[in-house]
Chain A
Amino acid sequence: MATRFLLTPASAEMPSSNFPALVPVNTTERRMALAFDASTQETCAWTVVVPQGTTGTITAVISYAMASATTGGVAFEIGVEALTSGDAVDLDASTSYDTTNTGTDAAVPGTAGYMEQLSITLSNVDGWAAADLARVYLRRAPANAADTATGDAYVFALEIRDGA
């Protein structure tokens, strides 16, 4: 298993509305995170180029902590759009994301601020291959039945691994 991308809060691309706030979780250390709301679905994305040698099952690992919740669960969704040179997708007018991949964590850490990692197997990666221009979106799924924890979920990093 190899790490292919490390996606951080500061490099996230935000849509025009309903995006997670980029916040300093620790105001002294300025540890930055993306704050995903508990009721409004908020989305952000990263643009990457699929590295040469990428192979096998793709897995996403979300490093998160809860702002205040000490009980309940969270759910996240990850979508992938992969474009090969010459693909018929007008980037300034449309997207072509594959089916969303959903991952749930039934129990958030018992102490708010403690970090936990949620691993999601990405079964739907839009058939990405080396050299594709890819976009990966991340969003919390507040309407998912498994998303029961109150308050913000802070995401510190999103790691994408493959099977190499």
Chain B
Amino acid sequence: MAVLSAASRAGIWRKVQRYWSDQREACNFTKAQLSAAVDATDDWIEANQTSFNQALPAQFRNNATLQQKTILFLYVAARRAGLLDWADGD
């Protein structure tokens, strides 16, 4: 898997700004700093995807799809950041 295209990275840059605007969430950084952060995040995923995959239990790793592993990663990361809107018992 390659890093995202410049257009895809720009799309994320636009999307998160609109999300934070809608949320009225204070952003103490500039557009350029956010753009660099998008790039760094994509680069980090590119550099560490193998490590993440190897950290998964073998049975899951060998049978789950890329999309399933990605959703798993997103859900765990979102829960850690308090971004999921359901309770632990749901």
Contacts and interface: CB of A to CB of B under 8 A. Distances in A.
Chain A contact residues: over half helix, strand or loop, or mixed? loop
A48 interface: no
Nearest to A112: B26
A67 B30 contact: no
Interface residues of B, number: 19
B18 interface: yes
B29 interface: yes
A39 B17 contact: yes
B26 A150 contact: no
A68 B24 contact: yes
Contacts of A40: 14
Interface in B30-71: 30-32, 34
A152 B28 contact: no
B73 interface: no
